[in-house]
Amino acid sequence: MSALSKRCEQRKAEAQALAEKYNAGIEEAQKLNNANQQLFQAFTKKKDQYEELVDLVKEEEGVQEPATEVVE
C-alpha cells in the first residue's frame, strides 16, 4: 500500500470517528430536549393545580381580588 493510500485510509478513519462523535452528540441533545419537555409539562401541570387550589382557597375564604381602575 502506498503512502498516499495509507494517509487516505487514516483520514477516512478520522472522519468516521468524528462523524460518530457528532451523531452521538446529536442523539444526546435530543434525549435532553425530550427530558426537558417532559419536565416542563410536569411543571405546567403542577402550576395549574396550584393555581386551581389558590382560586378555591380564595373562594372559600371569600377573598376577592381588587378591581383595577384605569385612571387617565
**Is 71 a domain residue?**
no
**Is 3 a domain residue?**
no
* Structural domain for 40, as ranges: 9-54
- The mean pLDDT of 33-38, rounded to a whole number, is 98
d(CA 32, CA 66): 43
d(CA 26, CA 21): 9
DSSP code per residue over 42-62: HHHHHHHHHHHHHHHHHHHHT
**Is 23 a domain residue?**
yes
pTM above 0.75, yes or no: no
Residue 7 has which C-alpha cell? 494517509
Count of structural domains within the chain: 1
**Is 39 a domain residue?**
yes
- Is residue 7 over pLDDT 70? yes
